[in-house]
Chains A and B, each alone.
Chain A
């Protein structure tokens, strides 16, 4: 078993707010194996933004890491200096964000920006331009050389996102982190970009951490999936396992709510009633308990992780009972 590209162990992050300590992430452990695509599924408040900010060391000023390690290339990201981190970002770890309209500097041409981010490489300007134009073609932008002279406003949202992916992959990173990169795009564009991403990942051989709330896309693109709820990991495993045999009540409910999943036409769509719990005043039991249809007495206590097979893990008392550890 080779070392995973990214190994997050027991990560806990809190924000200090006027109302108290907001425990955004609690004991989160996620592994991203080499050359694999791992998806994180979760809704508002699940902590995925906090997770990204912790990995990239771009956390808000009121955030503190309470515990845990994030191991990447044999060092703990949480312990390295900001200087060392900035050397990693853009070379070994690349990021693609959600809003393609805000990703680029509006007053510089795309070509200029793509050349600028190659500042660490000892190539001539012409060589850098050529590389940039190659990458643009790779992500499916025609007439790449001409387009390098253009400014971001001359590109549509879909194209800008492709450019963002091109820029992220230009340095051939070991890990690409994509935070809801297709959420702001039309579904038909999403299809194209996902396909392109898969092809590029194959070629470049990087690992991808892909955050999305679009279950269909995760099923399509990812090898493994991690389901997060209110700051905790509730289930993780291969995409096949989790989507075909969801073990956690939240995962099950989520799949049931997904409109792509509902076959029969109905005027009473399933939902998960209630809201996520107050992350400042958390109860000691299972975090999903109050919205769970299968809640029972054992749920007063926090469930431990149990494994259904070598890859499939779930934090639920019900499974725990079936597979006593």
Chain B
């Protein structure tokens, strides 16, 4: 029998987001993740205003200097301020990550819910689609497309988005399938709710939680992918700074100055750690809620 003791004396409910936030800051890893991610996002948004120098302004006389008070991370082979390039690179990273993952989530959600809730034949078709896309090795696929179409930011975004769709789609599909037979869905069906209503109002909100967690953990992967492609020269075109292109430059100049590699590598590491911590903490917070057990 349900124990009603704890619930009988409930006070007003906190809004859900503030509830998540509340729990997130109490988890040490979550707090660290939140701070790092906050810094990265902040610096990405306000990049044009906080960079000490124009990231693409060349200054040959000052090339390849080590870190100093005027150039916090030194300069690269064209005299550009590395620190400014790092900050701007963060912007590029997020400019790639957000539309990519945003697009992948949107399409993955739609296809996944249809697959999970719709008729079996449609499910089979969609799963076949997912499996086909997933069977392409991402990097190869990206290289192939770039070779055909030429390197650019948009190409990178499109390629990574398409290859990420099945990941989200499959998770959404499984969640939808498990929700499909729950009693509250049956109840809504008995009220006459249409399939679209059920998917939009009753399944979607319950599926978003795990997806958000996945997304948070995926952002560093996508950023890494972009960096990798840019490192290979298949990503953003110079002089646009990207952490990957910084790594490329650094790689070529490693005998002259190690600082470029460090400057390109550290933000990647930090981003990965930050988002991963955040994702893990988010998962812990979101999960018990989904089971309906409250805080």
Binding site for B on A (CB under 8 A): 17, 19, 22, 43-45, 49, 180, 183, 213, 275-276, 278-280
Between-chain CB contacts (< 8 Å), 16 pairs? A17-B6, A43-B1, A44-B1, A44-B2, A44-B4, A44-B5, A45-B3, A180-B1, A183-B1, A275-B4, A275-B8, A276-B4, A276-B8, A278-B9, A279-B5, A280-B9
A278 to B4, CA, bound (A): 11
B9 touches A49 (CB 8 A): no
B3 touches A276 (CB 8 A): no
Please report which residues of chain B, range 42-96, place their CB below 8 angstroms from some CB of chain A when the two chains form the complex: none
Contacts of A180 in B (CB 8 A): 1
Contacts of B2 in A (CB 8 A): 44
Contacts of B8 in A (CB 8 A): 275-276, 278
Contacts of B5 in A (CB 8 A): 22, 44-45, 276, 279
Please report which residues of chain B, range 180-194, place their CB below 8 angstroms from some CB of chain A when the two chains form the complex: none
A197 to B275, CA, bound (A): 56
A14 to B108, CA, bound (A): 48
B14 to chain A, nearest CB (A): 12
Please report which residues of chain B, range 1-45, place their CB below 8 angstroms from some CB of chain A when the two chains form the complex: 1-6, 8-9
A54 to chain B, nearest CB (A): 16
B9 touches A45 (CB 8 A): no
Beyond A276-B4, A276-B8, A278-B8, 17 extra complex contacts between A and B, CB < 8 Å: A17-B6, A19-B9, A22-B5, A43-B1, A44-B1, A44-B2, A44-B4, A44-B5, A45-B3, A45-B4, A45-B5, A49-B3, A183-B1, A213-B1, A276-B5, A279-B5, A280-B9
B3 touches A44 (CB 8 A): yes
Contacts of A49 in B (CB 8 A): 3
B3 to chain A, nearest CB (A): 5
Contacts of A45 in B (CB 8 A): 3-5
Contacts of A275 in B (CB 8 A): 4, 8
A163 to B4, CA, bound (A): 30
Which chain B residue has the least Cβ–Cβ distance from A280? Answer: B9
Which chain A residue has the least Cβ–Cβ distance from B11? Answer: A19
A218 to chain B, nearest CB (A): 15
A277 to B5, CA, bound (A): 9
Which chain B residue has the least Cβ–Cβ distance from A278? Answer: B9
For chain A, what secondary structure do more than half of its interface residues adopt (helix, strand, loop), or is it mixed?
loop
A180 to B1, CA, bound (A): 10
Contacts of A183 in B (CB 8 A): 1
B252 to chain A, nearest CB (A): 56
A280 to B7, CA, bound (A): 12
B44 to chain A, nearest CB (A): 37
The 5 closest A-B pairs by CB, nearest first: A45-B5, A44-B4, A278-B9, A44-B3, A275-B8
Contacts of B9 in A (CB 8 A): 19, 278, 280
A54 to B4, CA, bound (A): 20
A280 to B3, CA, bound (A): 15
A246 to B2, CA, bound (A): 27
Instruction: Name the residue in B2, B4, B5 with the highest tally of chain A Cβ atoms < 10 Å from its Cβ.
Output: B5
A129 to chain B, nearest CB (A): 37
A183 to B1, CA, bound (A): 9
Contacts of B3 in A (CB 8 A): 44-45, 49
Please report which residues of chain B, range 270-284, place their CB below 8 angstroms from some CB of chain A when the two chains form the complex: none
A182 to chain B, nearest CB (A): 13
A23 to chain B, nearest CB (A): 11
Which chain A residue has the least Cβ–Cβ distance from B2? Answer: A44
Contacts of A22 in B (CB 8 A): 5
B107 to chain A, nearest CB (A): 37
B53 to chain A, nearest CB (A): 51
Which chain B residue has the least Cβ–Cβ distance from A24? Answer: B5
A273 to B248, CA, bound (A): 75
Contacts of B1 in A (CB 8 A): 43-44, 180, 183, 213
A266 to chain B, nearest CB (A): 25
Which chain B residue has the least Cβ–Cβ distance from A47? Answer: B5
A108 to chain B, nearest CB (A): 25
A19 to B6, CA, bound (A): 10
A44 to B4, CA, bound (A): 6
A276 to B6, CA, bound (A): 11
B142 to chain A, nearest CB (A): 42
Which chain A residue has the least Cβ–Cβ distance from B1? Answer: A44
A279 to B7, CA, bound (A): 12
A77 to B200, CA, bound (A): 54
A278 to B9, CA, bound (A): 7
Which chain B residue has the least Cβ–Cβ distance from A279? Answer: B5
A73 to B42, CA, bound (A): 66
A58 to chain B, nearest CB (A): 16
A134 to B3, CA, bound (A): 38
A22 to B9, CA, bound (A): 12
Contacts of A44 in B (CB 8 A): 1-5
Which chain B residue has the least Cβ–Cβ distance from A17? Answer: B6
Contacts of B4 in A (CB 8 A): 44-45, 275-276
A45 to B3, CA, bound (A): 6
Contacts of A43 in B (CB 8 A): 1
